[in-house]
Chains A and B, each alone.
Chain A
Amino acid sequence: MATTDFVPQQSAGGTGQKRIVNDMSIQVATVNGSGSQSSNTVLLRSIFQMGVPVSGKNMFPSNIAGLPTWYTIRANKNGYIGRKKEIDFLVAMNPETASEDVMSLASGASVLYDEPLQLHKLRNDLVFYSVPYDKIVAQVCPEAKLRKLVKNMVYVGVVANLLTIEMAEIEKSIRKQFAKKVKAANLNLAAAQAGFEYAKANLEKRGAFYIERMNKTTGKIIIDGNSAAALGCMFAGCTVVTWYPITPSSSLVETMIEYMKEYRIGPDGKATFAIVQAEDELAAIGMVIGAGWAGARSMTATAGPGISLMSEFAGLAYYVEVPGVIWDIQRVGPSTGLPTRTSQGDILSTAFLSHGDTKHILLIPCSVEECFNMATEAFNLAEQFQTLVFVMSDLDLGMNNWMSDPFQYPTTPIKRGKVLSKEDLDRLGSFARYKDVDGDGIGYRTLPGTSHPAAAYFARGSGHNEKALYSERADDYENNMERLNRKFETARSFVPRPEITKGNGAKIGIIGYGTSHWGITESRDQLRDEYKIETDYLRLRAYPFTREVHEFIEQHERVYVVEQNRDAQMLCLLKLDLKPELIGRLRSISHITGLPLDARSITDELTSMEGK
């Protein structure tokens, strides 16, 4: 067992073994399309409502119905909400995977299984509970065709009983889950209650795991990263969204459609936005660029294969200098890869997306709160720098439920960047689109429809001079490319700064980003508690790298760069930026299982490289 938090048995009626409170991971193994998502959400919410920090991770197949799926709920009193490597409590509902699921458990774990599966014969070092689901469900659900769905709510009741989750909270969660469908709520509640009663009457609690009420979730919300991003974009003043469905990004735009239809309709009943489903990712980014050029705050959301398709257009936007925001909800590549698994594998290709000398601003959220906040930052940076801004989320963040503090209303105004109006042109007489007037590399632009004879310029992906006229002259090309570089350098001081957490006199540094954050935070405590290793931690939040990143590496003897890809992509980017003598300090810890990065894997890898 990985947990270190054993306390002596306190309650009567137990079996006298160790008691582990508010520290476990529960895995529910089902087949997709069986309606288990509602049951799992009810379990997650009930624990959350009892004040226990919790997270839910869905490991699902790229399929509509009939293939294995696993949902893992982690409850942790210390607030660790990253994935936990070990499973403590297995709910085995899928005959296909039941044996393998049971065999992979660590000794001492509990298994709740459907009676006919007879799993207790497999091992003798686990705690087994069997439940005759079909018998129970037949009693509470007279309609045979609904039984398959309701069956999953029976295990919710059983788990509630075995883990001491309060039934009042289960009821509240079911009512919330089926908010508008009273009949469905009643049926599901009856199923959960039947499960609870069955367990109470027939099962003897032998496992070590308990949920007890605490107060660590007061005022918090539960939301997935894609929904958080959708909300963020709505409050960022986004006006045009063009997209092509792709896992795991689709829910970002789908949620945004719902929010925008609700909250972005003008007094005349008309929309203050346009959302268009394009024919492919090439069209999606083409529309983003067309809209950005014409002055909209435009965006799209996609994943790796879409990013690859957008490559040519990304170079156009870089060179013509058109704003736009691209959400990359990263999944496992290369190629189609594992569409429903998480990864940080698009860092390098996106930073330099397109041919020629091209580079892009990347923002990297680690939490749902950052998905919300970075939306405004992304749009503001895109318009200030007249360039694409990529927000590098991932499947773990985007599609899973996370606990969070409520989001704060944006304090930053909507910044539209250097745009000349008719009045500006009346005053100036004329302008040169790509002239570096302010020394920051950023020119002034005009929008089509500006009613001034000197407003127009010729946007082109071919070589151009300061006045946006076609040019193949060597000096024009070089000057323009140097100015674009100057602009990128300026961006270093404007992108989100990294978050630095100091240890106690640490010589070792850890650099991480995105969802690796949750594993890293927990791992640093493991390193301190179990190995007496102090670490400082820098969480990157953007590319290009800010000054603090260089300083952090200078301050440490060894710096472990933790990431979820094979080729140490962020480490490669850092190498390009660092002084040669600092490069040797970097070490790579990479994780490529497609599952969210867990603390134990980092701890094991780091201690082994430290020779412990």
Chain B
Amino acid sequence: MGTSTVEPGTSAPGPKTNRIGLTVIEYKGGKTTLCAGCGHNAISERIIEAMFEMGVEPEFVIKPSGIGCSSKTPAYFLSRSHSFNAVHGRMPSVATGALLANRKLICIGVSGDGDTASIGIGQFIHLMRRNLPIIYIIEDNGVYGLTKGQFSATADLGSKLKTGISNDLPPIDTCALAVQLGATFVGRSFSGDKKQLSAMLKAAIAHKGTVMLDVVSPCVTFNDHEGSTKSYKYVKEHEEVLQEVSFIPHFEDIDVEYDPGSTIAVTMHDGSRLHLRKLEEDYDPTDKIHSLTRLTEAHDKGEVLTGMFYVDPQAPNFIDLLNVVDQPLATLPESMTRPPKEILDACMEELR
């Protein structure tokens, strides 16, 4: 994956910097307090890399989250960005408000399967249908970690808890829901799949609508045992990768190697390109109905389907639909937010 790195010139080689002159260190966060080997930590690492490689200004990123292990992770990446660790299942509304206030912000919201598919399903659904410009990541381990190992609503049918209790209810497929409800960039990856997750995150940063990424992320403490369908072993064995994903940001020379015979290129809103190497001849990520068929089939076969299921880079997003001024509403001067006295006088006259 090419990045827009700048060579330090003739002096002694320093750390690599990106196109806005920052080093990867400047995208790091605090030290993680999650369990060693937790899939969530790998996701944080990928976010750091993607933000660095895309040359995103960290001061313009916001990191809202809900409650749970996943929602703690914004503390572990991008410490130069504002975070808001809100209430359980209600991060979408906080993110929405923040983006209404300042449309220039880049929003990466982190949630978990409990935070999204159980307590937060209502807000999740309405977030998806608004096509708000947000990258919404579900760090999905199928279990409540912070309360020590209860099932979540994404736990697969028949999967077992450490205690031996088996799950009798079918899972909610957040990707299928997101596609159906109007999200314009929907994919699933695996925390251990460095290459695929990185490419998806970079494409997500370029996208100007709702990105919904379900990242299967095994819980090493409560859900990585025999019988769990979200363990490392299970996912490695049952993962079916839909296509190979690569992403070329719009600021890069797009004259890079790819084989036109076997790839689909999706041009993003900002001119950058998402390349999907077709492992299957018929997979078209702009076909909504087909994506839902494939997700349903994968469930029936007990497979974990990963890849880019659906993308529509041109759909209008929520902030555009509201037709708000280009400047952030948050910092508009009084001259723009308080109409003059004549307007009040006119209103009073009408009420006489």
Is A457's beta carbon under 8 Å from chain B? yes
Which chain A residue lies CB-closest to B348? A406
Tell me, yes or no, whether A242 is within 8 Å of chain B by CB.
Answer: yes
A74 → B minimal CB distance (Å): 19
Contact A240 B57 (CB under 8 A): no
Q: Please state if B122 and A447 are interface contacts (CB–CB under 8 Å).
A: no
Quick one: given A291-B100, A294-B102, A453-B80, are A282 and B93 in contact (CB under 8 Å)? Answer: yes
A279 at the interface (CB under 8 A from B): yes
B96 near A290 with CB under 8 A, answer yes
The verdict on A452 contacting chain B, using a C-beta distance below 8 Å, is yes
Binding stretch for chain B, among A85-93, A215-223, A485-493: A215-223
Known: A242-B97, A460-B85. A447 touches B330 (CB 8 A): yes
Contact B59 A470 (CB under 8 A): no
**In the complex, which residues of chain A have a beta carbon less than 8 angstroms from the beta carbon of B97?**
240, 242, 286-294, 296, 298
Stretch with Cβ within 8 A of A (4 or more), from B3-11, B234-242, B318-326? B318-326
Task: Given A296-B329, A447-B330, A456-B59, check contact A291 B101 (CB 8 Å).
Answer: yes
**CB-CB contacts below 8 Å: A309-338 with B:** 312-313, 316, 320
Query: Is there a chain A Cβ closer than 8 Å to B75's Cβ?
Result: yes
Most chain A CB neighbours (cut-off 10 Å) among B57, B64, B347: B347
- Nearest CB on B from A225, distance (A): 13
* Closest partner residue, chain B, to A468 (CB atom): B83
Is A240 within 8 A of B84, CB to CB? no
- In the complex, the answer to whether B323 meets A449 with C-beta atoms within 8 Å is no
In the complex, what's the smallest C-beta–C-beta distance from B34 to chain A, in angstroms? 13
Q: A296-B97, A470-B75 are in contact. List 18 more A-B contacts (CB 8 A).
A: A239-B330, A240-B97, A271-B324, A272-B329, A286-B86, A287-B94, A287-B97, A290-B100, A291-B330, A294-B98, A295-B101, A298-B97, A448-B81, A448-B82, A449-B102, A451-B60, A453-B80, A456-B83
Are A223 and B351 in contact (CB-based, < 8 A)? yes
Query: Restricting to A218-239, which residues have a CB under 8 Å from any CB of B?
Result: 219-223, 231, 234-239
> What are 12 contact pairs spanning A and B, CB under 8 A?
A219-B352, A268-B326, A269-B323, A270-B325, A286-B90, A291-B97, A294-B330, A295-B328, A296-B101, A298-B97, A448-B98, A458-B75
The minimal Cβ–Cβ distance linking B209 to chain A, given in whole angstroms, is: 17
Which of B90, B93, B105 lies at the interface centre, i.e. has the most chain A CB atoms within 10 A of its CB? B93
Query: Does B348 contact A264, Cβ atoms closer than 8 Å?
Result: no
A144–B352 alpha-carbon span in the complex (Å): 34
Stretch at the interface among B243-251, B279-287, B334-342: B334-342
Contact with A456, one of B82, B95, B348 (Cβ below 8 angstroms) = B82
- Are the C-beta atoms of B351 and A240 separated by less than 8 Å? no
User: Is residue A437 within 8 Å, beta carbon to beta carbon, of the partner chain?
Assistant: no
Q: In whole Å, how far is B9's beta carbon from the nearest beta carbon of chain A?
A: 24
List residues of chain B with CB within 8 A of the CB of A209. Answer: none
A448 touches B105 (CB 8 A): yes
Min CB–CB distance B173 → chain A (angstroms): 21
Closest Cβ–Cβ distance, residue B295 to chain A (whole Å): 25
B residues at A contact (CB < 8 Å): 26, 57-60, 62, 64, 74-75, 79-87, 90, 92-102, 104-105, 122-123, 125-126, 322-326, 328-332, 334, 336-339, 341, 343-345, 347-348, 351-352
Measured between beta carbons, the chain B residues less than 8 angstroms from A278 are 93, 126
Answer whether residue A407 sits at the interface, using C-beta atoms and an 8 A cutoff: yes
- Cα A603 to Cα B28 in complex, Å, equals 69
Q: Which of B100, B126, B331 contacts A274 (CB 8 A)?
A: B100
Chain A contacts for B330, CB-based, 8 A = 239, 291, 294-296, 447, 449
Contacts of A409 in B (CB 8 A): 341, 344-345
Interchain CB contact (< 8 A) of A290 among B79, B84, B126 = B84
Contact status of A271 and B334, CB under 8 A, knowing A290-B64, A290-B101: no
Return the chain B residue nearest A268 by Cβ: B325
CA distance A462 to B325 in the complex (A): 35
Q: Considering the complex, give the chain B residue whose CB is closest to the CB of A238.
A: B337
**Is A65 part of the binding interface, using a Cβ–Cβ cutoff of 8 Å?**
no
The answer on a CB contact under 8 Å between A458 and B85 is yes
Q: CA A269 – CA B325 in complex, angstroms? A: 8
CB <8 Å contact, A270 and B323: yes
Interfacial chain B residues near A280, Cβ < 8 Å? 122
Which residues of A430-448 are within 8 A (CB) of B? 446-448
- At the interface, yes or no: A461 with Cβ under 8 Å from chain B? yes
Say yes or no: A461-B86 contact (C-beta < 8 A), given A271-B322, A294-B330, A453-B59.
yes
Does A459 have its Cβ within 8 Å of any Cβ on chain B? yes
A221 contacts across to B, CB distance below 8 A: 348, 351-352
Check if A276 is an interface residue, CB within 8 A of chain B. yes
Measured between alpha carbons, how far is A557 from B237 in the docked complex, in Å? 82
Which residues of chain B have C-beta atoms less than 8 A from A235's C-beta?
Answer: 338-339, 344
A266 near B: Cβ within 8 Å?
yes
Q: CB of A593 within 8 A of chain B? A: no
Q: Per a CB cutoff under 8 Å, which of A219, A272, A450 touches B336?
A: A272
**A270: contacting residue among B59, B102, B326, CB under 8 A:** B326
Interface string of A21-42 (1 = CB under 8 A from B): 0000000000000000000000
Contacts A234-B339, A235-B339; A295 near B102 (Cβ below 8 A): yes
Report the separation of the CA atoms of residues A264 and B92 in the bound assembly, to the nearest whole angstrom.
Answer: 27
Question: Cβ of B337 and Cβ of A237 under 8 Å apart?
Answer: yes
User: A295–B331 contact, CB under 8 A?
Assistant: yes
Q: Which residues of A contact B322 (CB under 8 A)?
A: 271, 274, 276
Q: Which residues of B contact A273 (CB under 8 A)?
A: 324, 329, 337
* One of A414, A449, A451, A460 near B105 (C-beta < 8 A): A449
Which chain A positions have C-beta within 8 A of B60?
448-449, 451
Do A312 and B87 form a contact, CB below 8 Å, given A231-B347, A240-B97, A414-B334?
yes
Closest CB in chain B relative to A500 CB, distance in Å: 29
The CA-CA distance from A251 to B348 in the complex, in Å, is 18
Is A297 on the interface with B (CB-CB < 8 A)? yes
Alpha-carbon distance A219/B351, docked complex (angstroms): 10
**A66 at interface by CB-CB < 8 Å:** no
A271/B59 in contact, CB under 8 A: no
Bound-complex Cα distance A342 to B50 (A): 55
Nearest residue (CB) in A for B352 is A221
Chain B nearest CB from A301 CB (Å) reads 15
> Does the CB pair A220–B59 fall under 8 Å?
no
Residues of chain B lying within 8 A (CB to CB) of residue A458: 74-75, 82-83, 85
Interface centre among B59, B94, B104, B332 (most CB of A within 10 A): B94
Give the top 5 A-B pairs by smallest Cβ distance, nearest first.
A290-B97, A286-B93, A295-B330, A296-B101, A287-B97
Compute how far the CA of A271 lies from the CA of B26 in the bound complex, rounded to whole angstroms: 36
Give the shortest distance, in Å, between B77 (CB) and chain A (any CB).
12
B42 to chain A, nearest CB (A): 22
- The smallest C-beta distance from A323 to any residue of chain B, in angstroms, reads 11
Question: Shortest CB–CB separation between residue A205 and chain B, in angstroms?
Answer: 31
A290 touches B94 (CB 8 A): yes
